[in-house]
Amino acid sequence: MKAIVYDAPRKFEYRDVDIPQIDPDEILLRVHACGVCGTDLHVHEGEFGARFPLIPGHEFSGEIVELGSDVKGFSKGQRATASTTQACGYCFYCKRGDFLLCENLGGIGVEINGAFAEYIKVKGDLAFPVNKLSVREAAMIEPTACAVHGMEVLAVKPGSSVLLLGAGPTGQVLAQLLKLNGAAKLTVAAPAGQKLDLIARLAADEVVAIDRQDPEVHQRRLSQLSPNGFDYVVEATGAAPMAEDAMRFVRRRGTILIYGVYPDDALGRFRLAEIQRRELAIKGSFAQIDCFPRALEYLESGKVKVHELVTHEFALKDYQKALELAWSRQGIKTIIIPPEN
């Protein structure tokens, strides 16, 4: 089969590899499409604990072409996706039931071969049927599952005012989930353009264009909109200066959620006296491990809408072009289509 294979950071090739051999507890999927996300850009740089050689790609769906003898509840020809994180079951955190915190957590597309390929094998117990979603929408299941986990971490008090920084693909989903889960008023701040326009249509009550040249403009606008700040500030840009800025907008006893994906060495500076005196909380949310069923409920019921998010499609052989588009920060979501689709 054809696949994108990294032999080392920044060194990948579109080449022929063997179709994965499945174990009795595994499923072989013919990949329909796989989304490109910020994590893939970090994997490209060798960050995130990426293990090489590696086929990246973790936002996929496909058709079941082979089933291991121990797999239950699926049939050939069915469409499916799979949760991408696998806990070891034996470490300190797994023994406490905190599987997402597993010290040996394996991630498809990071430590385990992913879906920038014609076929991918997944564990049967991590697979989920996809019934109503288009191939494009299905690329948003994994990011939606991560956003559902973010909502769990944030635990918004009903009737709160929330500021979301960033309107990328995950921001678009987070915004809708925030409106469904306690945000009485949602303000989104992001650079002006297609993403901000879409989030205004999908979920935001107010949008504020971020001006990177003259940050005072958006800072002033945000303090006009909410003179006492926001109960929750969700940082979903992955830019360290934005995370530092979150402190400026959060109200007393408010919570900042660090949700973006940052370079491994990114640092944020916070005034400790402010955290103490204003009784602030800073939380982190990382990936997900048990949120696929709930993400599918939101997407298949149409409560969370993602059909407008995929703005670009590339053939698998053109992965380099997809990366360049992602670096240029154009479009919203890009998906990769393997041959034979």
Q: Does 37 participate in binding Zn ion (rule CB under 5 A)?
A: yes
- The position carrying tokens 């079941």 is 64
Near Zn ion by CB under 5 A, which window of 41-49, 90-98, 252-260, 326-334? 90-98
Nearest distance, CB of residue 87 and Zn ion, angstroms: 5
Site residue total, Zn ion (CB under 5 A): 7
- Given candidates 88, 192, 217, 281, which one binds Zn ion under the rule CB under 5 A? 88
Q: Does 102 participate in binding Zn ion (rule CB under 5 A)?
A: yes
Nearest distance, CB of residue 18 and Zn ion, angstroms: 26
Nearer to Zn ion, 171 or 182 (CB): 171
Q: Does 101 participate in binding Zn ion (rule CB under 5 A)?
A: no
- The whole-angstrom separation of Cα 38 and Cα 332 is 11
Nearest distance, CB of residue 296 and Zn ion, angstroms: 16
Q: Does 141 participate in binding Zn ion (rule CB under 5 A)?
A: no
Spatial CA neighbour of 129 closest among 81, 59, 84, 86: 81
- The whole-angstrom separation of Cα 272 and Cα 253 is 14
- Given candidates 94, 135, 163, 247, which one binds Zn ion under the rule CB under 5 A? 94
Q: What angle do CA 107, 257, 137 make, to 5 degrees?
A: 50
Percent helix, strand and coil across the chain, each to the nearest 5: 30, 30, 40
- The whole-angstrom separation of Cα 114 and Cα 144 is 18
Torsion of CA 68, 32, 143, 99, to 10 degrees: 10
Q: Does 91 participate in binding Zn ion (rule CB under 5 A)?
A: yes
Near Zn ion by CB under 5 A, which window of 49-57, 86-94, 244-252, 320-328? 86-94
- The whole-angstrom separation of Cα 337 and Cα 324 is 16
Nearer to Zn ion, 88 or 217 (CB): 88
Binding site for Zn ion (CB under 5 A): 37, 39, 87-88, 91, 94, 102
